[in-house]
Chain A
């Protein structure tokens, strides 16, 4: 059995239902994501179009993150899922440096690496991943790519010439496929990311890897001191006046 994902980008309407379902299901902290939907606008007004690309871990058959992890915190499950054992992770960020898809993050609450696991805990109990269930247009197709009768295998067969993976030149053999994608949407170098500006916010880069309040000394003292509970609310306690107003940024 080799579990895989296929996203039909012709169907995706960018509702971000999958993104929210993933956040809720896996308690993904603010500033982090396991699954995100990226909007890319293509063309010049009035001939423009907007594409939506859900991005998550590719669960590569030859996963660079698994290879570089010094303590096997990243490991394969029998069904092909690349899983994470947070309790073993030492937080070296080697996996973040190795993953060509930028799919791994340093959890700011646990200060360990984490990523999409295809909802391995749900699959174990016979359920579909949360994002698949939430998708209103069934753009997310999940199943066993080694079973010719599975929905995903049938879908791949029906769309032979149009099935793509991200960065095939990396020889990672991803088990995450796209139908209806193009270079502009799947290649991160083929679209412009204007610094300090996007549709709803002006944050393009995180200012810390992991918890930004977890300095060098805190890392050593953490087991002996109460660091205070971190939850989503604590990440929202920032001074709004310290930032430039939205109108000044771009007029949106």
Chain B
């Protein structure tokens, strides 16, 4: 248990109720991790389309929204599953409370998922013209092919607040001092770029060398700054008694210490060096290994950061 007692007082709790343990657990970690992939592939995909010709990434048009669609559905599923009253999720739309980042986020994420679904359908039907050639849905989707390019800039723009709103939920969780809005906002953005580039690396086998070089560059930058953010927070977030007590406990080898350093090494340090080396020599296998490690490490890092402030006794 995290605490910050003064030895002189010898104050000890001798009778009290049982306190709740971890309230937001692995489902919320998975939720944040999947959302990072879902929005990250759109952001990194847009960057690649800005830098390179479409012909260099022949499958990007359909595979980018497909990866995003799958990840967003994992994110939405675990958002729903984590609720103690899942059927009442509808209340967010029927009785929205706009000061809550949960409400704003749910609306934006739903819209974002809807638009990504449309992009996935258009991209998929265009990429495979023989698939359901005479199907009414296929025909009508192929008929609005140009809609993809029209909504794409809006989807890219929307990906930014969808990435960031979880940071505001964490900031609104005012009982957990470790989570500060500016730091969490940056963490979320770097996580999205890291996860987005890592996910696209897996499908970049047939792409040009230059695009893979750019993916390695984004991965290297995202892992570097993510690591810097975590180090800054881990060692210097001492502006509140709660954050100080939490970190002192973890520093001293308490729970989650090992998981945290596994996350840092697997998720950020090793992928950074692998990605940097890959910018010189195009080694697809090593780059994929870096991407895999980055995704695993990101999950561990997020898991630790979600759980450690919940170890504090609040009353």
Interface residues of A (CB under 8 A from B): 31, 33, 36, 38-44, 50, 55, 64, 66-72, 88-94, 96-103, 105-106, 111-112, 166, 169-170, 172, 184-185, 187-195, 198-200, 203-207, 209-210, 214, 216, 219-220, 223
Contacts and interface: CB of A to CB of B under 8 A. Distances in A.
A91 B88 contact: yes
Contacts of A40: 11-14
Interface stretch (B93-101, B154-162, B212-220, B223-231): B93-101
A64 B15 CA distance: 28
Contact of A39 (B9, B13, B83): B13
Contact of B86 (A89, A193, A220): A220
B4 interface: yes
Contact of A71 (B12, B91, B240, B313): B91
22 contacts: A38-B15, A40-B11, A55-B315, A67-B172, A68-B100, A68-B102, A70-B97, A90-B88, A94-B100, A97-B23, A97-B175, A100-B314, A106-B84, A112-B84, A169-B240, A189-B242, A190-B6, A192-B12, A193-B3, A205-B20, A206-B20, A209-B21
A223 to B, nearest CB: 7
B314 A72 contact: no
Nearest to A16: B15
Given A39-B14, A42-B9, A170-B174, A209 B85 contact: no
Contact of B5 (A100, A189, A195): A189
Contacts of B92: 70-71, 90
Contacts of A169: 240
Contacts of B21: 205-207, 209
Contact of B89 (A39, A90, A166, A210): A90
Interface string B100-119: 11110010000000000000
A94 B102 contact: yes
B12 A102 contact: no
Interface in B149-200: 169, 172-176
Contacts of B86: 90, 219-220
Given A70-B97, A112-B84, A189-B5, A41 B11 contact: yes
A252 to B, nearest CB: 10
Contacts of A92: 82-84, 102
B87 interface: yes
Contacts of A172: 174
B14 A199 contact: yes
B12 A219 contact: no
B144 interface: no
A98 B173 contact: yes
A22 to B, nearest CB: 12
B136 interface: no
Contacts of B312: 188-189
Contact of B84 (A91, A170, A188): A91
A193 B313 contact: yes
Given A70-B92, A195-B1, 8 more contacts: A93-B24, A98-B174, A188-B315, A189-B3, A190-B4, A190-B11, A198-B13, A219-B84
Interface residues of B, number: 56
A205 B21 CA distance: 6
Nearest to A99: B175
Contact of A102 (B5, B9, B313): B313
Contacts of B11: 40-42, 184-185, 190-192
A39 B172 contact: no
Closest 9 CB pairs of A and B: A91-B84, A102-B314, A191-B11, A39-B15, A70-B102, A97-B173, A111-B84, A102-B315, A71-B91
A193 B84 contact: no
Contacts of A91: 83-85, 88
Given A41-B12, A88-B91, A204 B85 contact: no
Given A102-B314, A203-B18, A204-B19, A71 B174 contact: no
Nearest to B25: A209
A36 B16 CA distance: 8
Nearest to B2: A189
Given A92-B102, A112-B84, A189-B245, A43 B9 contact: yes
A66 B100 CA distance: 9
B18 A44 contact: no
B137 interface: no
A38 B172 contact: no
A77 B12 CA distance: 37
Contact of A205 (B14, B19, B84): B19
B281 interface: no
A103 B86 CA distance: 23
Nearest to B173: A97
B252 interface: no
Contacts of B91: 70-71, 88, 90
B140 interface: no
A40 B312 CA distance: 17
Contacts of B24: 93, 97
Contacts of B100: 67-70, 94
A103 B315 contact: yes
Nearest to B78: A216
